[in-house]
Amino acid sequence: MTGIREAKKEEKQERILQASIARFTNDGFEQTSIEDITRDAGVAKGTFYNFFEKKEDVLLFYLDRELVKSRHEIKRKMSSTKTIIDKLELLILTYLKNIFRNKDFSKVLVRERIAKIGTGKNWNELLLMQTIKQLLEEAKEKGEIKKSVDLSNMSEIIFAIFTMYTIYWLNGLIPTKKQCVEKVKEVLRMFFEGVGVRE
């Protein structure tokens, strides 16, 4: 009986999520009311509050779910990667594929979450930077990165590259997601190989 009850709860939560994504995408985050969402989802307003306190929590729920999915996929595939660039490419490609599936919804997601970047309150950002830093630490131990490099600064730079090109793709400056990934890879290679002339 508990299994049936849990399945019904999950089904309602999923309906709320899908209705929210559709509304946020078509009408915008600010213009969408909780009443709009619950009407589209076919649930009572109180049901929304059983799962979420506010609209932003729906975005966080979506991000959390896709991040978990991404982490599992990355963990499964990471052993087949060799260099730090390969590992970062896998990380970025997986995040773009899972989190930014729907381009129009992704624009809403980024617009609403971008204000939290750098505040220390965006745990999704912190988790991504922590993952990048762990990969850099492993690369440093393997001798792929100089011992003198500050890995905190380096992880912030890589996060900034990923964020900037994702925004370029979402805003149409880069036409496709594939080109976005290629651009990130190109810049990462330039970054790791260095651009200074050695005498």
pLDDT digits (tens, 9 = 90+) for 24-52: 999 999 999 999 999 999 999 999 999 99
pLDDT at 198: 57
pLDDT at 117: 63
Half-sphere exposure of 190 (CA within 13 A, CB side): 10
CA–CA gap between residue 199 and residue 156 (Å, rounded): 29
Q: Does domain 55-193 have CATH number 1.20.1740.10?
A: no
Q: Can you say how many angstroms the Cα of residue 110 is from the centroid of all Cα atoms in its chain?
A: 9
Question: Which residue ranges does the chain devote to CATH 1.10.357.10?
Answer: 55-193
Question: Which residue ranges does the chain devote to CATH 1.10.10.60?
Answer: 1-53
List the chain residues with pLDDT less than 50.
none
Q: What is the CATH number of domain 1-53?
A: 1.10.10.60
